[in-house]
Amino acid sequence: MAGDKEILNKIRSVKNMQKITSAMEMVAASKIRKAQAQMNASRPYAERIRKVIGHLGAANPDYKHPFLEERETKRVGIIIISTDKGLCGGLNVNLFKRVIAEMSAYQEKKIEVDLVLVGSKSVQFFKRLGGKVVGTATNLGDRPQASDLIGAIKIMLDSYNEGKIDKLFLAHNEFVSTMNQNPKINTLLPVSTINEDSDSLQTHWDYIYEPDAIDLLDGVLMRYIESQVYRGATENIACEMAAKMVAMKSATDNAGDIIDKLQLVYNKARQAAITQEISEIVGGAAAVSG
Amino acid sequence: MISIKIDIVSAEGEIYSGEATMVYAPAKMGEVGIAPRHAPLLTALKPGDVRVQDVDGKEHFFYITGGMLEVQPHLVTVLADTALRGDELDEAAAQESQRQAEEALKGASAETDIKRAQAELAEANARYRAAQKLKGIK
């Protein structure tokens, strides 16, 4: 019967899809661990650099770096970290929702927003909906490198230095657990007061600076911001993989359900055909013998 | 023997951590050698080798592309960069990122259509929830 064949074909095609989604699930599952390890690997650097900034701040109480100074907000910058690829459930959508809510709050206050986009998905989203995008960084892969982000970050730091923006935020997904990721917006600039470990500063001391305290503070702060953004990017990868794993798992389950249903339809159709054939034979035999 | 703790870290991970009797680093103003109880020092590093003499007298070499060196009497921290840095290189990277943005967003308006964005996101969310619900019913 023609109908049988069609159903069988359909079952086969759904089975193929299921194979792909389950393979993607397994790939994502194995990548979560690596992504998490990479995310944690950036921690010691950020901690050390935070301490150095704390020392610098304590040792130079009269010098206020612009990065540490709160000022009136006329324009803000947001660095948005999204994924490069899709098939990860509501991960990007949730983040964009959070960002758009923030942006609309600023719009009401007549504060303009500059955007730097990391990841192809955010580029696609803001291309469609518009926005003042001053820089992008895409196709970072599963292991983003800090050097890929330098350019995008520098744009924002420069416009902060030039007074074009007065605040800088980082929007990315926070990795809570494999099942749970939270969109989050953190303030990068001005750097919030850094609580230095006071015990080491009980006695007054200062560094020997080479070449110059101000240049050094500049360099350290810049690297601090970069390390924060880098950490955000690696954390987002971990989120992407976790969300992808969950999405692909439910896709695999759904494919299984569809296969079961189609199998039932197929069995019924086959049974109906057999029944019909038997009744035809019986009818034919009755006609001959009668 | 008196020693000093040395940590070499980069944004992408910890590179080395241990006790040393002597550390040499390529500071901007010339190579510095740091022995235990060195005075607190903060300096920029240029590309070159960081040499660490550990307590067993073995020497370890690490090539770094630049970074920062922080010295406290009992602790040396090397904040290594992960890429070659320089004002011009950074500037080029920034321009590249800007160019990419212009290219990727050609024709898009500079104003975000927030109403439309909210509507679209709400729709996407509703669709996602509907799918979840359908799955629950089955």
Q: pTM for this one? A: 0.86
Q: Mark whether B97 and B29 lie in a shared domain.
A: no
A89 in Cβ contact with A243 (< 8 Å):
yes
User: With a CB-CB cutoff of 8 Å, which residues 49-68 of chain A face chain B?
Assistant: 49, 52, 55-56
Q: Find the length of chain A.
A: 290
Is A223 close to B68, i.e. CB distance below 8 A?
Answer: yes
Q: Mark whether B16 and B67 lie in a shared domain.
A: yes
Is A210 close to B113, i.e. CB distance below 8 A?
Answer: no
Query: Which pLDDT value is given to residue A165?
Result: 93
Task: Please list the residues that pair with B62 across neighbouring strands.
Answer: B50
Q: Mark whether B8 and B70 lie in a shared domain.
A: yes
Q: Mark whether B39 and B78 lie in a shared domain.
A: yes
> Among A187, A217, A205, A210, which Cα is nearest to A65's?
A217
Q: Mark whether B11 and B60 lie in a shared domain.
A: yes
Q: Which residues of chain B have pLDDT under 70?
A: 135-138
Q: Which residues of chain A have pLDDT under 50?
A: 199, 201-202
Q: Mark whether B25 and B14 lie in a shared domain.
A: yes
- DSSP 8-state class, residue A84: S
Q: Mark whether B58 and B115 lie in a shared domain.
A: no
Here the ipTM equals: 0.82
Domain of B111, in residue numbers: 89-137
Is A138 close to B100, i.e. CB distance below 8 A?
Answer: yes
Query: Which pLDDT value is given to residue A2?
Result: 56
Q: What is the pLDDT of residues A20-52, one digit of tens each?
A: 999 999 999 999 999 999 888 888 888 888 888
Total domains in chain B come to: 2
Give the CATH number for residue B70: 2.60.15.10
Active-site positions of A read 88
Query: Which pLDDT value is given to residue A1?
Result: 53
Closest-approach residue (CA) in chain B for A227: B11
Query: Which pLDDT value is given to residue B52?
Result: 93
Q: Mark whether B65 and B112 lie in a shared domain.
A: no
Q: Mark whether B64 and B95 lie in a shared domain.
A: no
Q: What is the pLDDT of residues A190-217, one digit of tens each?
A: 887 655 555 454 455 678 887 777 788 8
Among B62, B86, B110, the domain-final residue is B86
Sign of the Cα pseudo-torsion (A84, A85, A86, A87, in order):
negative
Query: Which pLDDT value is given to residue B136?
Result: 65
Q: Does A273 touch chain B (CB under 8 A)?
A: no
Q: Mark whether B10 and B31 lie in a shared domain.
A: yes
Query: Which pLDDT value is given to residue A204?
Result: 58
Q: Does A103 touch chain B (CB under 8 A)?
A: yes
Q: How far is A210 from chain B (nearest CA, A)?
A: 5
Alpha-carbon distance of A89 to B127, in angstroms, equals: 11
Q: Mark whether B101 and B112 lie in a shared domain.
A: yes
Q: Mark whether B73 and B96 lie in a shared domain.
A: no
